[in-house]
Amino acid sequence: MAKTAAPVYDPQAIEPKWRAAWKRAGLFKVSEDAGKPKFYNLVMFPYPSGPLHMGHFRNYVIGDAFARYKLMRGYNVLNPFGWDAFGLPAENAAIKSGIPPRVSTEENIRISKHELDLMGVMYAWDREVTTCNPDYYRWTQWLFLKLLERGLAYKKLASVNWCPKDNTVLANEQIVNGVCWRCGTKPTKKDLDQWFFKITAYADRLLDDLDRLDRWPERVRVMQANWIGRSHGADLEFPLAERPDRITAFTTRPDTVYGATFMVLAPEHPLVAALTTDKQRAEVTAYIEKTRMETEIDRLSTEHEKTGVFTGGYAINPFTNERVPIWIADYVLATYGSGAIMGVPGNDERDLEFAKKFGLPVREIVSTTPQPTGAVTATVLGLEQGYAVNSGPYSGLRSREAFDRIITDAENRRIGRRTTTYRLRDWLISRQRYWGVPIPVVYCPEHGIVPVPEADLPVLLPPDVEFRSDGQNPLLYAKEFVNTTCPRCGKTARRETDTMDTFVDSSWYFLRYSSAQDDHEPFSTEKANYWMPVDQYTGGIEHAILHLLYSRFVTKVLHDAGMVAADEPFTSLFTQGMILRFGRVMSKSAGNGVTPDEMVEKYGADTGRVYELFIGPPELDAEWNDRGVDGVARFLHRVWRLVVGEEDNGPSTGTPVSSAGLLRKLHETIDKVSRDVEAFHFNTAMAALMELSNAMQDYIQAGGRRDETWDGVARDLARLLAPFAPHLAEELWQRMGQEGLVAMTPWPTVDPGLLRRETVTIVVQVDGKLRDRLEMASGISEAEARDQALKSPNVRRALDSKEPARAIFVPDRLINLVSR
């Protein structure tokens, strides 16, 4: 049989053409349009670190596919991109190579942009945002001034985490597993005068509003809730036995105060020096010295055995009036609560361990019954579990009741109050580095800290600075930069040389996209209110706390300032898993990356895209498999041959498919793919498309012709493929003689009438066990189904001539005959 010389699928030949066509058509060029539902689709913008690999692309492919899908569904889709372009790697590279950060950053952006384009990932590039450009960071400085104005930015001397490798301080959130999130170095402590954002002022709202984020992954919400770590309890005051001072101890269990047989202060507590007796002084001083040398990790390790020293001082337990010894120990943190605790070994594991080690008295003050059991167990009883015992007038009360009454009594006696504490600390934003946003303040000998007036922004980062190999901030030596005048009095003043944490840059970029080219304001409230909140945000789980918490905070601040109506930035969050290869995360340093250039050269961009969607559930890590890529390439080649290929595909051996059956398969596929994409189940959506193409192949091979039905199915297949394999879809669309871009045609709709079947397979069970499958008319009644089922030899054998006592009937699915 003569075969038509049909063209072969040649991705490299067709792909560039369609990218140019999308650009000409302005695929994602949008403006505010009240006539259409808006959809703000966002992927986390990257730090431009150079060439991308297919591991990075999982995020972009998902985002691009989703944006294209929403576009076809008729939404006004905002789909922007940008660069989180300030940061240490560029500066460290400058120290090594002498290439200025701006130069290497711009080069990296150029490369990354080319690769995104190569993969057919399209954005509203007219809204591109680059955080290291003055037209962006000017507004980051504006944001700083806004926080300053609202009393949410302040400077204080603090013992901060210092990364000796990166030569800068770290926020609490930026210490991951006890080491620097960036370089893995153990941080040390330093006392420095630093800028903070008062995120703790928003702790309650950041915690409570998590409940509204019902389209966020549960684990991210849990992580944020734990991070904020709100505890309800009381501050109780313990007067010192020998001095007029008092020690405030925060406790979540004021109901156990009758068991407070000692007190423990953090070694850094201000009263330690005063209450240490001469006899104990040497020992106490030595202990303080020792803890000072310890790193945070050593100190916080659970394995760490309890240590501590008696100060020689005593306090009075205000409820028992007993003298209780005051110790210092490193398990009490100066930075949490009041830096002092009441030691209740009777209902606290840590205190019990401490008491055992140092022979301090242990008293039973919580029991499972209203009466003491006479024994102290290591089990801690929760507030809702026990009764207060051996607790004076409170004995016999439920713990919760005792909790409330003791607080009330403490308040009346003015020795305590109900309090809430948080694990969350204020956000330390100062960085002693060059490649970041200069903090826009000036130090005047007369006026102290003076903010740079808004009109004078941006405070420009000087381009020509000397990068020193000792890692010192080059701004310290940039005389032109440092030496300035006071905006208030005009006298000689010194400019702040710290720059901002790059997480400040990324805490508001999603607002800037709404007004990326605006040079009068950071963003237009009107435009931001049209687009915000982000409807779908997609990115890596590594930002579960840092970036997402900061962004929520900044959004709430700007909401309070009346600048944006949204008070949560991201309605729906999706965190995709990482791509592994040879068992390790794909990365430049591991040398296991597959580059987009390799992919495009060998298979074409569409194969790479579909493979990344098909590789597995997008929220889970997935192992890259070169054979799997081959399988996807086969699928796309098959689609090509079906639509563009020769009439005759071989002998009629396939499973027969009727044209009604083919149409039904099409509509089942439309239904499945639509629902899967909405739910981010891209892997099963790809599987459904493969099934459709398999059915189409069966149809042709069983003698089906390329008739009108076929053409309709092929057209819809092109539309269904358009978000995922966009180049191939366009080429097929054009070759089928269709006008315009398939990317801009409507998504196919399901015709429920075509989903209906004439007959259905009814599963016949006897006593719950599968005995037969019978084709029956759809919508068959229970009685008829039962009659037919009873005719089945398999069923009769299983029933063993018994009459079924009853039947369970699930229409169009199953009949279960129960013989008992």
Partner RNA sequence: GCGGGCGUAGCCGAACUGGUAUAGGCGCAUGCCUUAGGAGCAUGUGGGGCAACCCGUGGAGGUUCGAGUCCUCUCGCCCGCACCA
Q: Is 758 in the site for RNA (CB under 7 A)?
A: no
Q: Based on CB atoms, which residue is closest to RNA, 97 or 761?
A: 761
CB closer to RNA, 35 vs 583: 583
Task: Identify which of 226, 78, 212 has the alpha carbon closest to the alpha carbon of residue 537.
Answer: 78
CB of 687 to RNA, least distance (A): 4
Distance from C-alpha of 470 to C-alpha of 167, rounded to nearest angstrom? 9
Please give the Cα distance from 579 to 595 (Å, whole number).
13
- Answer for which of 653, 737, 800, 801 binds RNA (CB under 7 A) is 653
Footprint (CB under 7 A) of RNA, residues 465-484: none
Which CB atom, from 252 or from 738, has the smaller least distance to RNA?
252
Q: Which of 485, 498, 392, 355 is nearest to 439 (CA)?
A: 498
Q: Which of 599, 578, 740 is nearest to 118 (CA)?
A: 599
Angle, CA 810 vertex, CA 804 and CA 811 arms, to 5°: 115
**Binding residue for RNA (CB under 7 A) from 12, 97, 188, 226?**
226
341 binds RNA (CB under 7 A): yes
Q: Which CB atom, from 71 or from 586, has the smaller least distance to RNA? A: 586
Q: Which of 167, 320, 395, 683 binds RNA (CB under 7 A)?
A: 683
Report 600-629 residues binding RNA (CB under 7 A): 615-617, 620, 622-623, 625-628
Nearer to RNA by Cβ, of 93 and 764: the residue is 764
Choice from 423, 447, 602, 735 touching RNA (CB under 7 A):
423
DSSP symbols for 146-196: HHHHTT-EEEEEEEEEEETTTTEEE-GGGEETTEETTT-PPPEEEEEEEEE
> Encoding tokens for residue 601?
């050269």
Contact 810, 801 (CB under 8 A): no
Positions 515 through 554 that interact with RNA (CB under 7 A): 541, 545
Q: Which of residues 305-324 bind RNA (CB under 7 A)?
A: 305-306
C-alpha distances in angstroms, 231 versus 43, 54, 199, 333, 615?
34, 43, 17, 15, 42
Q: Which of positions 258-287 make contact with RNA (CB under 7 A)?
A: 266
Task: Report the DSSP beta bridge partners of residue 421.
Answer: 231
Asked whether position 781 contacts RNA by CB under 7 A, the answer is no
Strand partners, 237: 248
Least Å distance, CB 85 to RNA, is 26
Told to check if 330 binds RNA by CB under 7 A, we report yes
Residue 263: strand, helix, or coil: strand
Cα gap 505→143, rounded to integer Å? 9
**Selected binder of RNA within 480, 767, 782, 784 (CB under 7 A):** 767
d(CA 699, CA 660): 11
Show the site string, 689-718: x = touches RNA by CB under 7 A, - = not. -xx--x--xx--x-----------------
Closest to RNA by CB, 145 or 728: 728
Q: Does 585 bind RNA (CB under 7 A)?
A: no
Q: How many helices (H) and strands (E) does the chain have?
A: 27, 34
Residue among 95, 201, 223, 450 that touches RNA (CB under 7 A): 223
Task: Label residues 165-200 b or e (16+ Cβ within 10 Å = b).
Answer: ebbbbbbbbbbeeebbebeeebbeeeebebbbbbbb
How many residues interact with RNA (rule CB under 7 A)?
93
Nearer to RNA, 275 or 380 (CB): 380
Residue 260 CB contacts under 8 Å (≥ 6 apart), including other chains: 238, 317, 319, 320, 324, 342, 343, 344
Q: Scanning residues 244 to 263, which ones bind RNA (CB under 7 A)?
A: 250-253
In angstroms, rounded to a whole number, what is the distance separating the alpha carbons of residues 556 and 263?
39
Residue 339: CB minimum distance to RNA, A: 5
Cβ 433 to RNA shortest distance, Å: 24
Smallest gap, in angstroms, from Cβ of residue 541 to RNA? 7
**CA angle centred on 358, ends 354 and 364, rounded to 5°:** 60
Among 28, 40, 481, 635, binds RNA (CB under 7 A): 635
Strand partners, 762: 774
Q: Per CB under 7 A, does 150 bind RNA?
A: no
Residue type, 772: D
Rounded to a whole number of angstroms, the minimum distance from the CB of residue 698 to RNA is 7
The residue (of 291 and 484) whose beta carbon lies closer to RNA is 291
User: According to the binding rule CB under 7 A, does residue 203 interact with RNA?
Assistant: no
Nearer Cβ to RNA (105/765):
765
Q: Which of 185, 484, 572, 684 binds RNA (CB under 7 A)?
A: 684
The amino acid at 22: W
Shortest Cβ 820–RNA spacing (Å): 7
- Work out the number of other CB atoms within 10 angstroms of the CB of residue 278: 7
Q: Decide: is 348 part of the binding site for RNA (CB under 7 A).
A: yes
Find the shortest distance in angstroms from Cβ 384 to RNA. 14
| Piece in contact with RNA (CB under 7 A), picked from 140-148, 161-169, 680-688, 727-735 | 680-688
Q: List Cβ neighbours of 598 (8 Å cut-off, separation of 6 or more).
A: none
Write the binding mask 90 to 119 for RNA: x where contact by CB under 7 A, - elsewhere: ------------------------------
State the minimum distance, in angstroms, from the CB of residue 795 to RNA. Answer: 9
CB of 653 to RNA, least distance (A): 4
Q: Tokens for 397, please give them.
A: 């009360």
- Return the number of the residue (233 or 325) whose C-beta is nearest RNA: 233
The CB-of-584 to RNA minimum distance in angstroms stands at 12
Residue 761 contacts RNA per CB under 7 A: yes
* Residue 638 in contact with RNA, rule: CB under 7 A: yes
218 binds RNA (CB under 7 A): yes
Show the tokens assigned to 446.
Answer: 């007369």
Closest distance to RNA from the beta carbon of 298 (Å): 9
Residue 274 C-beta: closest distance to RNA, Å = 19
300 near RNA, judged by CB under 7 A:
yes
Binding RNA (rule: CB under 7 A), the pick from 222, 489, 585, 660 is 222
Q: Which of 763, 776, 777, 790 binds RNA (CB under 7 A)?
A: 763
Least distance in angstroms from the C-beta of 250 to RNA: 5
Is 750 a binding residue for RNA by CB under 7 A? The answer is no
**In this chain, which stretch among 38-46, 191-199, 293-301, 447-455 interacts with RNA, using CB under 7 A?**
293-301
Of positions 40, 331, 523, 680, contacts RNA by CB under 7 A: 331
How far apart, in whole angstroms, are the C-alpha atoms of residue 523 and residue 555? 13
Residue 190 to residue 158: CA distance in whole angstroms? 8
Strands 806-810 and 427-428, by their bridges, are: unpaired
Q: How far is CA 460 from CA 141, 221, 760, in A?
A: 10, 38, 72
Residues 6+ apart with CB under 8 A from 788: 762, 774, 776, 780
- What is the smallest separation between the CB atom of 531 and RNA, expressed in angstroms? 31
- Does 292 bind RNA (CB under 7 A)? Our answer is no
Q: Which of 227, 387, 394, 403 binds RNA (CB under 7 A)?
A: 227
User: Which DSSP string corresponds to 660-719?
Assistant: HHHHHHHHHHHHHHHHHHHTT-HHHHHHHHHHHHHHHHHHHHTT--S-HHHHHHHHHHHH
For residue 177, state whether it binds RNA (rule: CB under 7 A): yes
Q: What is the DSSP string of 428-462?
A: E-EE--SSSPBP-EEEETTTEEEEPPGGG---PPP
* Strand arrangement of the beta sheet that strand 769-777 belongs to: 769-777, 759-766, 814-818, 806-810
